[in-house]
Structure 1
Amino acid sequence: MEQIQLERHADTFLKREFGMPLDIPIRISKRMKSKLGAFRIKYIRGKAQDKEMEIVMSHTFISNNSTETILDVLYHECVHYALFAKNQPYRDSDATFIRTLDRLGISRTRTHMYRGESHLYECRKCRYQFSRNMKGYEKRYICRRCRGRFTYAGVVERR
């Protein structure tokens, strides 16, 4: 699914459910690995009322999931945006946000599992193995079991 299609779906959803158009950009990020999607607000320094907003979707998530799952996450982020624009509680833990998701039949945060490319690591001492979505884990962390160093074992697919 491409950016234009995402924007079209989001605009239609927002007009139908909240009576408002999509006035912020949707960006597809190849760097986003830990989240499937996000509604981001960036406050501009020195200006109290100025802020930049966007919805960001993970390229890996879009490449490895069905249209139904992608739209569920997109609509979840649109609810964040719509409630924020209407000055209502918009965070994942807010009751208003949860009630709105339930009313619209949209999944909550962390409902969908990550699918796609993952990186496998192994401890040099105790041979403990695990996978992470990020590369370079072995350079920054040590094993909590034996305090050993990790080696990069390669790429695995999570399905």
Structure 2
Amino acid sequence: MEQIQLEQHADAFLKRKFGMPLDIPIRISKRMKSKLGAFRIKYTRGKVTNREMEIVMSYTFIKNNSIETILDVLYHECVHYALFAKNQPYRDSDATFIKTLECLGISRTRTHMYKGESHLYECRKCQYQFSRNMKGYEKRYICRRCRGRFSYVGMSKKTAINR
């Protein structure tokens, strides 16, 4: 699914469910690994304009998931945007946000599993193995069990990180 298609789906959803158009950009990020999607707001001197808001979707998430799952995450982010635009509580833990998701039949945060490529690491001392969505983990961290250094083992397919 491409950016134009995401924008078309989001615009149709917002017009149908909230009576408002999509006035912010949707961006696909190849760097986003820990989240599937996000509604981002940049505050400049206490003010927010449409140019400072965006919906960001993970490239690896889009590449490795079904259209239904992608649209569910996109609609989730659209609900964040719509409630924010209407000056209503829009954060994941707000009751208004949760009720709106339930009424629309959209999944809450951390319901979809991450599917995609991950990087496998191993401790050089105790041979503890684990995987992360980011590369370069061995350069920044040490093992919490034995304080040893990590080495990069290789890439693997992963299906176990939530949104």
Give the TM-score range, shorter chain: over 0.9
Identity percentage of aligned residues: 85
Residue number in structure 2 paired with 1:96? 96
- Quick one: distance in 1 between partners of 2:145 and 2:111? 30
CA distance in 1, matches of 2:101, 2:48: 28
Please give the secondary structure, in 1, of the residue aligned with 2:113.
Answer: coil
Corresponding residue number in structure 2 for 1:30: 30
The whole-number CA distance in structure 2 between the counterparts of 1:50 and 1:151 is: 44
Answer yes or no: is 1:66 the counterpart of 2:66. yes
Residue of structure 1 equivalent to 2:128: 128
* Unaligned segments of structure 2, at least 5 residues: none
Unaligned segments of structure 1, at least 5 residues: none
TM-score (norm 2): 0.94
Contact 2:118–2:133 under 8 Å retained in 1: yes
TM-score (structure 1 length as normaliser) = 0.97
4+ aligned runs moved over 3 Å, structure 1:
none
Residue identity in the other structure for 1:26: I
Is residue 49 of structure 1 aligned with residue 69 of structure 2?
Answer: no
Aligned to 1:39: 39
Matches of 1:135 and 1:10, distance apart in 2: 31
Q: State the structure with bigger RCO (CA 8 A, min sep 6), 1 or 2.
A: 2
Summarize deviations over 1:22-57 as a string: whole Å, max 9, x none.
00000000110010000000112x4x3343100000
**What CA distance in whole angstroms lies between the structure 2 residues aligned with 1:131 and 1:114?**
13
Name the structure 1 match of 2:145. 145
Deviation at 1:158, TM superposition (A): 1.4
